[in-house]
Amino acid sequence: MTAVHVPGAPTISAGDLISTSPATGAEAGRFPVATEADVREAVQRARTAGEWWAGLGFTGRRERLLRWRGVLARRIEELAELVHTEGGKPVGDAVVEILTALEHIDWAARNARRVLGPRRVRTRLILAEFTGHLEYQPYGVVGVIGPWNYPVFTPIGSAAYALAAGNAVVFKPSEYTPAVGQWLVDRFAEVVPEQPVFQAVHGLGDVGAALCRSGVAKLAFTGSTATARKVMAACAETLTPVLLEAGGKDAMIVDADADLDAAAEACVWGALTNAGQTCIGIERVYAVDQVFDAFVDRVVTKAGRLTVGPDGADIGPITMPSQVDVIRRHIEDAVARGGRAVLGGPDAVQPPYVHPTVLVDVPEDSAAVREETFGPTVTVNRVRDVDEAVERANALPYGLGGSVFGRKRAVAVARRLRSGMAAVNSTLTFAGMSTLPFGGVGESGFGRIHGEDGLREFGRAKSVTRRRARSLLPSMTFERTPTDVARLVKVAKLMYGRGR
């Protein structure tokens, strides 16, 4: 913690975590910092609460979750304003974020029983005398650790699904956005006043580390790849399963038959929304030679129109003050190594703001192409054809999302991207589709939130077989006879012995 207060940088004073606006430095909220013992106690309380919550069943939980969704929806302006004050995000972007989160709460609540509830599964000839039953039972207490860049959408992507599955949740919001985290928890307590089913614990990274070691039955982490490694190492000590939603360096591919106006519009949005502080933000573009110049012209025109500033602007401040240095380094390095800033450039960095910056012809091994920039910048490089574009897009260890613009080949190209998600003729849209799983590959993490996979992530498969008739061909018993075994050999050959 810095002694001199930098606007936006959280401070700790008299045992409280104080978050401030990155634009003005005004205090946004203060919350007691949890000790390791506090975190353990919260998890202990959550165990009892979780049993009670699980006991409500799918119907009872659905009703509460839909009421929570209703409260958030009715107070959307208030929450958007808080997101804006605490993180600097433009109010319009905050509204879009909250709307997306509401859709996820709604879908998780309405679909939990169908996806996770008890059901009979088909039996086959082997063990035909048994029925099979499957259900996904809650873990108990799930720990959720969230980042600051989407302080509503990201924790809800895990928490709403975990809650719908019947778990209690202990949530550690980012130290940059504790007020938003606490607000979500407080609204939940209004509709579930009986038990602390959804709690927040506040503090710096050590509180997150304490949550990993607190005895939670599963840990859902969203944040940087560097921290994901620490989280996984801490959870390994107790074999606590983890879900990791980590960083990205998503690419957009623009093919020769793309609608260039639409591609440029989506590129500008995908790269610059939330000042580029988006895990699935477009940070690199590969445009094929025939359309490269026309595409870049359009991007520069559209991005050049965006306003930058504290209130009512398209692009707000950089939330985490230290990130400004990373953004500056990436831009300066790109330019020093032969890249050209066709919009913005090193002078665009004016803390706490960074003006839109479009870099072209940037070497593929430069930081601006290989590392997460997390600022309102984008590199656009020329490629021979989509094959080269795919090769370059897939060259990084990250693999979160991606986007492809084109007609004939776009879906096929999207499928070739080494990523968990891709949008064809749009950007970022998969995040808002509650029926689609969300998550990455490689250094972008593993496990899935959202959709059916997202619900199953928070339930343990429980399998039950039940005898419904006497076994005609006993196998799993010492009572079987040599004749039975001979018959089993015949069955094995008859059923599985054909083919190569």
Pairing of the two strands 16-20 and 27-32: antiparallel
Judged by CB under 6 A, does residue 436 bind ligand NDP? Answer: no
Nearer to ligand NDP, 175 or 314 (CB): 175
Catalytic residue among 212, 235, 267, 279: 279
- Catalytic, 245? Answer yes
- The C-alpha atoms of residue 67 and residue 467 are separated, in whole angstroms, by 42
Strands across the sheet containing 11-13: 11-13, 16-20, 27-32
- Residue 246's φ and ψ, nearest 5 degrees, are -110, -160
Which of 5, 75, 113, 230 touches ligand NDP (CB under 6 A)? 230
Nearer to ligand NDP, 94 or 383 (CB): 94
3-state secondary structure of 17: strand
Nearer to ligand NDP, 318 or 389 (CB): 318
Judged by CB under 6 A, does residue 247 bind ligand NDP? Answer: yes
Contact 198, 167 (CB under 8 A): no
Pairing of the two strands 168-172 and 141-145: parallel
Mark 87-126 with x for binding to ligand NDP (rule: CB under 6 A) and - for no binding.
Answer: ----------------------------------------
Least Å distance between CB 54 and ligand NDP?
26
Which of 148, 183, 188, 458 touches ligand NDP (CB under 6 A)? 148
List binders of ligand NDP among 162-191 (CB under 6 A): 172, 174-176
Which of 88, 166, 208, 459 touches ligand NDP (CB under 6 A)? 208
Contact 284, 394 (CB under 8 A): no
Residue 411's CB: how many other CB atoms inside 10 A? 13
**Which parts of 215-288 fold into alpha helices (H)?**
225-236, 260-272
Least Å distance between CB 223 and ligand NDP?
3
List binders of ligand NDP among 330-389 (CB under 6 A): 372
Q: Which amino acid is at 384?
A: R
- Catalytic, 235? Answer no
Residue recorded with tokens 């606007």: 7
Catalytic residue among 97, 245, 443, 457: 245
Which tokens hold the place of 70?
A: 């209703």
Which of 209, 217, 331, 348 touches ligand NDP (CB under 6 A)? 209
Which of 9, 141, 231, 243 touches ligand NDP (CB under 6 A)? 231
Which of 12, 71, 76, 204 touches ligand NDP (CB under 6 A)? 204
Nearest partner of 148 among 310, 19, 17, 270, judged by Cα:
19
Which residues have a Cβ under 8 Å from the Cβ of 148 and sit 6 or more positions away? 87, 173, 174, 175, 176, 177, 319, 320
- For ligand NDP, how many residues bind (rule: CB under 6 A)? 32
Which tokens hold the place of 375?
A: 């600022």
Binding-site ranges for ligand NDP (CB under 6 A):
145-150, 154, 172, 174-176, 204-205, 208-209, 212, 222-224, 227, 230-231, 245-248, 279, 372, 400, 440, 444-445
Report, as residue numbers or ranges, the catalytic residues: 245, 279
